Structure 1
Amino acid sequence: MFTGIVEERGTITARDELTDAARLTVRGPTVTSDASFGDSIAVNGVCLTVTELSGDEFSVDVMAETLDRSSLAALAVGSTVNLERAMRADGRFGGHIVQGHVDGVGTIVSIAPAENWTVIRIGLPEALRRYVVEKGSITVDGVSLTVSATADDWFEISLIPTTLAHTTLGEASVGDPVNLEADVIAKYVEKLTGGGDD
């Protein structure tokens, strides 16, 4: 489990295409400082398992389903990614409950800088619309954020300079795909009240 508080921006240093997967090697000095084989690290909000460690780099295998359901397929050598280690049981809960299970991919529709913050509007896939509410939580590329506005097919997040400086969202452009994870509490409530499609 994660909290959506990005610990560092990492860099993709290698990408190897496998038969039905891809192997990514990522440089991340902070997240590798105490990492071990088999640990979970969120890469742009996707929970992945460390398969190899070498200095300040780690490798992960990304199966075809994950590539199809997230924006990781677009990563190339040199791409910058948000990194977070799995939460320790005695850690501080700084964001919200984040599983690292991407629910869908949104597209950045607009970026509106202001004096003290930047508003980013993101296109919202239809399957996720019922889970996104104003002032609710959402994870965008692994970053725990508060929804500042919403409509039928989009939502907005308002980012302070610290978030822009310490996550990949500060480098985002209109048209970029972003991984979205809805608040798991909303999904459980829906299931328990019989409101889901299952």
Structure 2
Amino acid sequence: MRNWSIAGTLIVQPVSQRSDLLAEPVAKAITSLDESEVGVVEIDPELADTAAFCEAYSSPLSASANCVVVAGKRSGEVRFAAALILATTRADVNGVIKRRLDVRKASFAPMDEAVELTGMAYGGITPVGLPGEWPILIDKAVADSPELIIGSGIRGGKLLITGAALASLPGAEVIEGLAKPVE
């Protein structure tokens, strides 16, 4: 098993041994990934939000990536996408993402709708296991990262994964400039 330098105080386990730390759609989809490029950790669900997680477990904020569900309408049709960006940045929702979805206006999907459509918990949504028709937009900085921490589909777990593994997901598109630095 890989030695994850970003794990902080957490104990990384193989995903095949801890499917209880994964939402059902994540557990189904993760089997397509090389197990050497992904691990899972158990966390306190109250500490799932990125800043609290990093502080509590001594994990670098610069290695955390957040997945947001974005929606936009075109001719009455709602189009969804997931965007994966570093936690130190913000998604360019009404620039890059809006153009990629080919919609007039894009915004974060409402929490209850995102949870229902993904089968994942709010605060744990991850690009692994999303609906197959959704594009997964990955900022180039995420794809280039050797190690990242992302959601596992539930608030009580996190995935440790390589940027290359994320870029290899079905429907993944690596996009330069998908995110902007937080000012």
> What is the TM-score normalised by the length of structure 1?
0.28
Higher helix proportion: 2
Higher strand proportion: 1
Which structure would you say has the larger RCO, counting Cα contacts within 8 Å and 6 or more residues apart?
2
Which is greater in Rg?
1
> What is the TM-score normalised by the length of structure 2?
0.29
